[in-house]
């Protein structure tokens, strides 16, 4: 799952466009480092920090990765 998709999926932002803006503004950290690439691939266990909260990327089965 990409970073922008994860932010939307986790409910941090309602749209991918808003996720993109947060990422480009330097408001998102992945594993403690500022991440500016919205297409950054995430793997289970990665820690995403945004808006004062820390989210951990879960292990997802193939059917849970969505597509819509």
Whether residue 33 lies inside any domain: the answer is: yes
pLDDT at 25 over 50: yes
Give the pLDDT band of residue 29 (cuts 50, 70, 90).
Answer: very high
pLDDT at 61: 65
Domain that holds residue 16: 3-60
Whether residue 68 lies inside any domain: the answer is: no
Q: Mean of the pLDDT values across residues 32-56? A: 96
Cα angle, residue 43 at apex, residues 16 and 40 outer, rounded to 5°: 45
Cβ burial of 16 (10 Å; 0-12, 13-18, 19+) is: middle
Whether residue 50 lies inside any domain: the answer is: yes
Phi, psi of 62 (to 5 degrees): -55, -35
pTM as predicted: 0.83
CATH number at residue 23: 3.10.290.10
For residues 23 and 3, the answer to whether their CB atoms sit within 8 Å is yes
Count the domains in the chain: 1
Whether residue 65 lies inside any domain: the answer is: no
């Amino acid at each position: 799952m990409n970073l922008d998709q994860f932010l939307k999926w986790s409910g941090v932002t309602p749209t991918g466009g808003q996720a993109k803006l947060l990422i480009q503004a330097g408001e998102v950290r992945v594993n403690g480092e500022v991440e500016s690439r919205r297409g950054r691939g995430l793997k289970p266990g990665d820690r995403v920090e945004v808006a004062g909260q820390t989210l951990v990327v879960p292990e997802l089965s193939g059917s849970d990765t969505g597509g819509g």
